[in-house]
Amino acid sequence: MIATLFLLLLGTLFGLLIEKNKRIVNLTNKLLLFVIYLLLFSLGISIGKNKILIKIFFKVGLESLIIAMFGIMGSAIFAYIIQKTFFEKK
Amino acid sequence: MKENILVLTFFISGAFLSYFNLLPQIFYKADFSKYILYILLFLVGVITGANKRIFSIVKKVKYKIIFVPISTVLGTTLGIFILHLFLIRISLKDLLAVGWGFGYYSLSSIIIKDLRNDAISLIALLSNIFRELFTFIGAPLLVKTTGKLSAISSGGATSMDTTLPIITKFAGEEYTIISIFHGAVLTILVPIMITLLYK
């Protein structure tokens, strides 16, 4: 928890410092994408190791889809209320 | 979109190689994901800090902009609570962790793997990819039925980068600033909220 917050904060401070240096910012964006690929590869490895998980992949896939849909529906309803109350009241 | 396919390719090839034991022994013993996560968190901070637009947006647009990310958090949470009445196989805490990924599949799945387990991490990965994909496909429909803000809301943390073009296209350019701000707030909230949930 503390490590998470610390790294986010440290990164933000560093980002504020290098904000004017376009080359470093572009490099960071590329590096971020590379780290995400690396991360997903390692996530794949740890899930592939778990043979039981591979067996229930499609069941889990369906549940994942349902969770996403409920999250989106709830958000959309709240966004609709905010839109009507604050953004279209003239 | 191209990046999504690449990300999935990396994930699938990792799973394939490890399932059929095609990797050097070290990959089975050591787990590097925690260190990769730390690098990722730092980089997310750098990108946010270096994005001058985010700070100027907050100053320029009136206070009401803050209601947009708040409504996404509350709305997603409400949706998960309702789902919890039907989907009882997964605990409410785990459902919330998945939902609070807000489309940010790479970061949320790796944090959940670190704090919880592989199974919930896989659900977080897939569910949040679905959230991003649905926003791509469903943005026009959302704009028509529940309004322009709902497309932003659906995009979650991705409304500042990957789904921004589609949101701008269907909700209009005046919503670009709101969309970037919304995505930035949620990007920072994802690691904080999920970590707090499991502590």
pLDDT (tens digit, 9 = 90+) per residue, B157-174? Answer: 999 888 888 888 888 877
Same domain, B44 and B125: yes
pLDDT, position B111: 93
pLDDT of residue B84: 96
- B positions 143-182 inside 8 Å of A (CB): 145-150, 152-154, 156
Pair (A60, A44) in one structural domain? no
Residue A61 resides in a domain: yes
What's the one-letter identity of residue B126?
L
In a domain, residue A87? The reply is: yes
pLDDT band at B27 (very low <50, low <70, confident <90, very high): confident
In a domain? residue A5: no
Average pLDDT of the residues of chain B: 88
pLDDT at B190 over 90: yes
One domain, residues B2 and B92: no
Domain membership of residue B13 as a residue range? 1-30
User: A-chain residues within 8 Å CB-CB of B95?
Assistant: 67
Quote the CA–CA distance of B150 and B120 in Å, as a whole number.
Answer: 27
Residue A11 pLDDT exceeds 80: yes
Q: At A45, which amino acid appears?
A: I
What is the spatial distance between Cα B63 and Cα B50, in angstroms, rounded to a whole number? 23
Q: What mean pLDDT is predicted for residues B23-48?
A: 80
Shared domain check, A71 and A41: no
**CB–CB of B148/A76 below 8 Å?**
no
Alpha carbon B33 to chain centroid, angstroms: 18
Q: Are residues A61 and A76 in the same domain?
A: yes
Q: What is the pLDDT confidence band of residue B25, given thresholds at 50, 70 and 90?
A: confident
Of B3, B46, B102, which to mutate for an interface test with A (greatest number of A Cβ within 10 Å)?
B46
Domains identified in chain A, total number: 2
The pTM score is: 0.82
Q: What integer is the mean pLDDT of B109-133?
A: 93
Q: What ipTM describes this predicted complex?
A: 0.84
Question: Is residue A1's pLDDT more than 70?
Answer: no
Q: Which residues of B touch A31 (CB under 8 A)?
A: 43
Residue A36 domain flag: yes
Stretch B113-129: mean pLDDT: 93
Work out the pLDDT band at B34, boundaries 50, 70, 90.
confident
Give yes or no: residues B162 and B127 share one domain.
yes
Residue B38 shares a structural domain with residue B127: yes
Per the structure, the count of domains in chain B is: 2
User: Does residue A35 lie within any of the structural domains?
Assistant: yes
Q: Do both A45 and A66 map to the same domain? A: no
pLDDT, tens only, A63-75: 999 999 999 999 9
Q: How many CB pairs under 8 A join A and B?
A: 280
Inside any domain, residue A1: no
Considering the domain architecture, whether residues A67 and A85 belong to the same structural domain is answered as yes
Q: Is residue A46, in this structure, part of any structural domain at all?
A: yes
Same domain, B69 and B92: yes
Residue given tokens 């889809």 in the structure block: A65
The domain in which residue A61 lies consists of 56-90
Is the pLDDT at A90 greater than 60? The verdict is no
Are B105 and B76 a contacting pair, CB within 8 Å? no
